[in-house]
Amino acid sequence: MAEFKHFVIVKFKEGVVVEDLTKGMEKLVSEIEAVKSFEWGQDIESLDVLRQGFTHAFLMTFNKKEDFSAFQSHPNHIEFSATFSQAIEKIVLLDFTSTLVKAPA
């Protein structure tokens, strides 16, 4: 069965302390067993015209879609989402079953 991915790309509002949000997200995913893995990063290479203002990407991996559903309805996620949403100027969300083409070495 293919893994399920939750991919979020954001542009934070001016003045947001991004480090507080990323630490909060790291704490959140460590508390919810349904999350298989979590990674995030800040764009450092893309041209502004290609970036379209987006600065950060977050990727969560789940064993199956049902685990993602459990994550979405978890009280800690619901609480954190309210804080995270207030800090966002622009967002793109993609939720998908992944197709692995080349496995990590």
CATH number at residue 51: 3.30.70.100
Q: What is the mean pLDDT of each run of 10 residues along the chain (105 residues)?
A: 92 95 95 96 85 93 96 96 95 94 85
**84 domain-assigned:** yes
- The total domain count for the chain is 1
**101 domain-assigned:** no
Nearest-angstrom CA–CA distance, 22 and 61: 17
Residue 86 carries which side chain, given as an amino acid letter? Q
> What pLDDT, on a 0 to 100 scale, did the predictor assign at position 1?
64
Domain with 23 in it: 4-96
**102 domain-assigned:** no
> What pLDDT, on a 0 to 100 scale, did the predictor assign at position 103?
83
**34 domain-assigned:** yes
Map 24-40 to HEC letters.
HHHHHHHHCCCCCEEEE
> What pLDDT, on a 0 to 100 scale, did the predictor assign at position 69?
96
Q: If you count DSSP H runs as helices and E runs as strands, how many of each does the chain have, helices first? A: 4, 4
**11 domain-assigned:** yes
Given a contact cutoff of 8 angstroms between Cβ atoms, the answer to whether 76 and 30 are in contact is: no
**103 domain-assigned:** no
